[in-house]
């Protein structure tokens, strides 16, 4: 066998994800708040970037970039800077001067559970041993308001009598919100019954002995065990449902997300929907003017410094273009969704049409993966409320007319059917299936049960009223 070396020239196509392309993909799928944090990080890493603070001081400048095929972003920066123009977002129109301060600009926050309880403790006790024990007990409660240590542990740690700890715990259990300081669910519910002055003889018995059966809806079993009418048991259970099993969860937590910032704002003006990309929180970027002298030849810089600045400038240009491309993509996708789901926006969930990524991708002339990234973790503010953009994409079932009905529309119909049923004789899944088929929707009983579970609607036995 003969061995030899040869040189062959071949032409092939390969998909290579460059760092710039990976960055553009990341920017596209980031929601507004996360994009703001990402830009802040880039501002720290790239000296060529800076925030454009005073947008109204200068008129809008338009930058025309001439790119070559081989060097897409390697521009002739000396020619580029001759007109003293700058990179950045389009400047907004001049705004009227705002007052120096406004009370609406001041921020506040709700007190935490610990702060709320400490305030009540200061009003209820003095500055001695009671205050120390009370603060220790409050400090050992979880976010739901349950005490996480035993009374003996507190007594041993503070070297006090256990009776003093029990007395202070009783004081704290009288604080707002009702049920605070309990050591288990039963104690929490019993504290609320006493605190709220609920006069029902059956309720304490249900809490002490029947919580498991009550959770499973076994009202008949409970009535037989307690030897009383089912209706009285159900009335007591209705009162029990009004109590709060986690009394501390309604207070603020430093790690909680308190609100959602929509990426798209949809306003209806004179019968037409206006789409606004909500980029108010995103910093406006521009190129730092200090480094222009390095590229314009005003100073004698060595080649390494020039290459470093050119690299950072290319990265800055790409970042600004990627953010602008994200805004345009979000607008195109949102416009397509509004046009396709106008009936839903006008009339509600019952008119939501089945839709998938492929339909939208074909209309906006983008790849399905791009559309998926554009709507991922994004929210849109509509006349129907603030909803996730993925909500517009809904699967569907065939109906008698030969078209399809979205799953969300069917869920809405299911809710209406259950809301209008006779409480004493609720509808089972098969009856609901028959009613939906009468409306022309081809659906199975198993699918009805699935949708009912997703909506949090209980089974027929637990919905029956006695």
Looking at mean pLDDT, say which of 6-20, 173-187, 216-230 comes out highest: 173-187
Range of lowest pLDDT (26-35, 214-223, 395-404): 395-404
pLDDT tens-place string over residues 297-348: 655 567 787 788 888 888 888 999 999 999 999 999 999 999 999 999 999 8
User: Tens digit of pLDDT for each residue in 253-302?
Assistant: 655 555 778 999 999 898 899 999 988 878 888 887 777 666 666 555 67
Coil/strand/helix, residue 122 = helix
Same fold across 113-241 and 396-463:
yes
Judge if the upstream peptide bond of residue 177 is cis by omega within 30 degrees of 0: yes
Q: What residue spans define the domains of the chain?
A: 18-57+259-394, 113-241, 396-463
Kindly give the pairing relationship between strand 264-269 and strand 379-382. Answer: parallel
Q: What does residue 13 show for φ and ψ, rounded to 5 degrees?
A: -110, 135
27-62 residue pLDDT tens: 998 888 888 889 999 989 888 888 876 554 444 443
- Both tokens of residue 269? 């003006």
Residue range 396-463 in CATH 3.40.50.300: no
In this prediction, residue 76 has a pLDDT band, given cuts at 50, 70 and 90, of low
The residues, any chain, with a CB within 8 Å of residue 293's CB and separated by 6 or more, are: 299
Model pLDDT, residue 57:
44
User: What average pLDDT does the chain have?
Assistant: 83
What is the CATH code of the structural domain delimited by 113-241?
Answer: 1.10.10.1330
Q: Across the strands, what pairs with 396? A: 406
Of the chain, the percentage scoring pLDDT greater than 90 comes to 43
How many whole angstroms from its chain centre is CA 169? Answer: 37
Cα separation of 45 and 39, whole Å? 10
| Per-residue confidence (pLDDT) for residue 54, from 0 to 100 | 56
pLDDT of residue 171 exceeding 90: yes
Q: Would you say 379 and 370 are in contact if contact means Cβ atoms under 8 Å apart?
A: no
**Which stretch of 169-178, 290-299, 450-459 has the lowest confidence by average pLDDT?**
290-299
What whole-number percentage of the chain has pLDDT above 70? Answer: 82
Average pLDDT over residues 171-196: 93
- Residue of higher predicted confidence among 15 and 127: 127
Mean pLDDT on 213-232: 89
pLDDT at 73: 45
What is the pLDDT averaged over residues 79-83? 46
């Amino acid at each position: 066998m003969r061995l030899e070396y040869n040189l062959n020239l071949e032409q092939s196509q390969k998909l290579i994800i460059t760092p710039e392309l990976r960055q553009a993909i990341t920017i596209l799928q980031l929601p507004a708040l996360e994009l703001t944090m990402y830009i802040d990080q880039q501002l720290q890493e790239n000296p060529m970037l800076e925030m454009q603070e005073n947008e109204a001081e200068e008129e809008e400048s338009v930058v025309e970039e001439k790119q070559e095929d081989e060097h897409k972003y390697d521009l002739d920066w000396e020619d580029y800077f001759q007109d003293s123009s700058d990179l950045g977002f389009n400047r907004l129109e001049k705004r009227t001067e705002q007052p120096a301060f406004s009370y609406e600009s001041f921020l506040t926050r709700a007190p935490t559970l610990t702060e709320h309880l400490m305030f009540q403790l200061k009003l209820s006790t003095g500055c001695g041993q009671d205050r120390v024990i009370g603060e220790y007990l409050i400090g050992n409660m979880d976010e739901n308001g349950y005490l996480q240590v035993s009374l003996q542990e507190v007594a041993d740690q503070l070297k006090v009598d256990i009776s003093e700890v029990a007395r202070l715990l009783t004081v704290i259990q009288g604080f707002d919100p009702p049920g605070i300081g309990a050591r288990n669910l039963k104690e929490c519910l019993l504290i609320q019954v006493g605190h709220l002055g609920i006069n029902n003889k059956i309720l304490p018995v249900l809490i002490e002995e029947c919580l498991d059966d009550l959770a499973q809806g076994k009202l008949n079993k409970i009535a037989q065990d307690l030897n009383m009418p089912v209706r009285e048991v159900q009335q007591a259970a209705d009162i029990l449902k009004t109590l709060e099993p986690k009394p501390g969860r309604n207070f603020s937590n430093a790690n909680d997300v308190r609100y959602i910032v929509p990426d798209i704002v949809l306003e209806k003006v004179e019968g037409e929907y206006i789409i606004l990309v909500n980029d108010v929180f995103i910093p406006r970027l521009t190129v730092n003017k200090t480094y222009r002298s390095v590229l314009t030849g005003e100073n004698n810089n060595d080649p390494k410094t020039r290459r470093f600045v050119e690299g950072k400038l290319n990265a800055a240009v790409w970042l600004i273009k990627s953010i602008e491309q994200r805004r345009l993509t979000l607008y195109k996708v949102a416009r397509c969704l509004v046009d396709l789901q106008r009936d839903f926006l006008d009339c509600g969930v019952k008119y939501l049409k089945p839709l998938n990524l492929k339909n939208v991708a074909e209309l906006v002339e983008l790849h399905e993966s791009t559309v998926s990234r554009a709507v991922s973790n994004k929210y849109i503010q509509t006349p129907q409320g603030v909803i996730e953009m993925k909500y517009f994409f809904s699967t569907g079932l065939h109906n008698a007319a030969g078209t399809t009905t979205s799953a969300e529309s069917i869920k809405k119909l299911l809710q209406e059917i259950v809301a209008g049923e006779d409480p004493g004789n609720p509808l089972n899944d098969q009856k609901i299936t028959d009613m939906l088929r009468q409306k022309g929707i081809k659906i199975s009983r198993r699918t009805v049960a699935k949708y009912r579970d997703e909506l949090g609607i209980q089974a027929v036995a637990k919905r029956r009223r006695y």
